[in-house]
Every structure is written in structure tokens, then in C-alpha cells.
């Protein structure tokens, strides 16, 4: 039983970390958009794919 609880905890921690990374990425994208950077420029600077950047930009609108 303890192993199952530990796995649930670990999954929750991973989810929290992932959500934190996405929020940070959104903040970075927002700042770069204010500087009138293109999604391609943002992707290069943040070392992400253009598709990921464009998806996040679309979600933020």
C-alpha cells in the first residue's frame, strides 16, 4: 500500500513541476511578444519547437 501512495505522490509532484514550467514558459513568451518577437524567434531563444510556442500563444489569447 505504501508503494501505491508513494507513486501517487510522485505523480502529483511531476504534475506540479510540469505546470510550473508551463507557467514560466507563458511568462517568458508574454515578455517576448511585448518586444514584438516572432514565434520563430521566441522558439529559438527558449529552445522550444515553434509548434509548442504557437500552441501556447494561441491558448493565451
Average pLDDT of the residues in 32-37: 97
- Going by pLDDT thresholds of 50, 70 and 90, the confidence category of residue 1 is low
Pull the grid cell for residue 35: 518586444
Phi, psi for 48 (deg, rounded to 5): -125, 165
pLDDT at 39: 97
Angle between helices 50-60 and 2-34 (to 10 degrees): 80
CA 4 – CA 34 distance, rounded (Å)? 45
CA 29 – CA 34 distance, rounded (Å)? 9
pLDDT digit string, tens, across residues 5-24: 888 878 887 888 888 888 99
Pull the grid cell for residue 47: 529552445
Amino acid at each position: 500500500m505504501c508503494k501505491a501512495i508513494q507513486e501517487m505522490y510522485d505523480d502529483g509532484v511531476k504534475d506540479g513541476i510540469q505546470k510550473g514550467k508551463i507557467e514560466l514558459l507563458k511568462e517568458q513568451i508574454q515578455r517576448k511578444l511585448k518586444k514584438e518577437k516572432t514565434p520563430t524567434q521566441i522558439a529559438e531563444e527558449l529552445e522550444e519547437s515553434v509548434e509548442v510556442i504557437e500552441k501556447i500563444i494561441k491558448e493565451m489569447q
